[in-house]
Amino acid sequence: MRPAFPGLALAALALTVAACGESSQLPDESSIGPNPTLPAPTQTILPTVRVAKAVGWQGAAQPVAAEGLVVKPFARNLDHPRWLYALPNGDVLVAESNAPKRADGGGVKAFVMGLVQGYAGAKTPSANRISLLRDSDGDGIAETKTTFLENLHSPFGMALVGDSLYVANTDAILRFPYAAGATRITAVGTKVADLPAGPINHHWTKGLVASRDGKLLYASIGSNSNVAENGIEHEERRAAILEVDIATGQSRVFAAGLRNPVGMDWEPQTGTLWAVVNERDELGSDLVPDYLTSVKEGAFYGWPWSYYGQNIDARVKPENPGMVAKAIVPDYALGNHVAPLGLAFSSLRSPERFTNGAFVGEHGSWNRDPPSGYKVVFVPFRNGRPDGMPIDVLTGFRTSDGKAQGRPVGVALHPAGALLVADDVGNVVWRVASDPQRRQTAADRSMP
């Protein structure tokens, strides 16, 4: 007999799936650092799914900052803020965005996953705009919010080069004229280059950074699947970082085999490009670590045929030993299924332990028991390389009973000396800065 309410039945099925799977058998620390533990894969009939129900921030609740730091809302009441870009004059651009609708519907699996994503607060319609936030009086709260660009197509990455602002829609990079201090752009964007999209567009976010000389753009492009189950023919120029010549619009694959690279930034001492990457799912709670890595020109990082170097993924057919032999090992594991999205190298002046390294926004797991991520961490660097375990910077996004008050995405450093964090479940941009009271107390202690 057909259910009277098929939508409710499917929703119940999705939430039932969300309680299934296996649990982690290893301590979290084992999957972090330059040499993570990689146990044998664990596969179950149904994938491990643990979804944190999105509830938002209630009352005065907010994240918890590390010792020596304070956090407060820079802007509230945003519409699914995903990515941030701080302009030289201190204005902040925030991409209010979400996935575009799939033209093909995606089938039953995509529908059920859509219900699960809705439960997690990730299925809201895309606002398709970039808003500008301005803190004119310097009190750490943006008192001005304007619609800077609208009628975009799932915008994400942004980069300013001279008097041109480049925006990565889900399907193309556009160029807009920019004047310092402007609160709105009404000009029609000029297409610089197409980006891989199409009817599947599994990983829709497209990150963007400009080269130091302003001649090139680098776009991060996620895969069209978990492990090429939609067909390798649908993965052309995906799971990669593309290099785009600004003058001509011509592009090439700069590095490949990166399942879902999102945040990118330049390491300040060496000038090397680094990225955070979301690895594959459904191999168990203890596989595969997401990672932070330098991006080497022409390098191949394994996806889909292998992970973390040359560890073969037996699910991928046909096999490709030649490509596996080329796969290089990433630099630094961040943990299993933490979903790193935001990346920004520090320009903070204090506290000292946060002055040399990378801030990473970990959106949080769905394919792990217990959940992981749901926080902002700092990876210390020395001589241009990761050095030591991550330090928690911003926590408290999940409640004690497992609900998601917020989920961090993009991170950016403000010219005034603060870390900004986009929270797409709480619909807030958080501002994290050194604690002035702590500095005063330290000064008092040093007085004779």
Is 290 inside a domain boundary? yes
CATH of the domain at 211: 2.120.10.30
Mean pLDDT, residues 3-27 taken together: 58
Q: Which two tokens stand for residue 443?
A: 């000064």
**Residues 190-216 pLDDT 10s:** 999 999 999 999 999 999 999 999 999
Query: H or E segment at 115?
Result: helix 107-119
Is 442 inside a domain boundary? yes
**Other Cβ atoms closer than 10 A to 187:** 10
Is 241 inside a domain boundary? yes
- Angle between the N-to-C axes of helices 6-17 and 107-119, in degrees from 0 to 180, rounded to the nearest 10: 70
Question: Does the reported pTM lie above 0.75?
Answer: yes
Q: What is the pLDDT of residue 349?
A: 84
Is 49 inside a domain boundary? no
Handedness of CA 178, 184, 188, 191 (dihedral sign): positive
Is the pLDDT reported for residue 4 higher than 50? Answer: no
Is the pLDDT reported for residue 115 higher than 60? Answer: no
Is the pLDDT reported for residue 145 higher than 90? Answer: yes
Choice among 14-23, 131-140, 438-447 with the minimum mean pLDDT: 438-447
Is 116 inside a domain boundary? no
Are residues 268 and 366 in contact, defined by beta-carbon separation less than 8 angstroms? Answer: no
Residue 304: asked if its preceding bond is cis (omega within 30°), the reply is yes
Is the pLDDT reported for residue 123 higher than 90? Answer: no
Is 270 inside a domain boundary? yes
Is the pLDDT reported for residue 5 higher than 50? Answer: no
How many domains does the structure of the chain reveal? 1
Q: What is the pLDDT of residue 110?
A: 56
Is 29 inside a domain boundary? no
Is 184 inside a domain boundary? yes
Q: Which domain holds residue 380?
A: 62-97+125-446
**Residues 314-371 pLDDT 10s:** 999 999 999 999 999 999 999 999 999 999 999 988 899 999 999 999 999 999 999 9
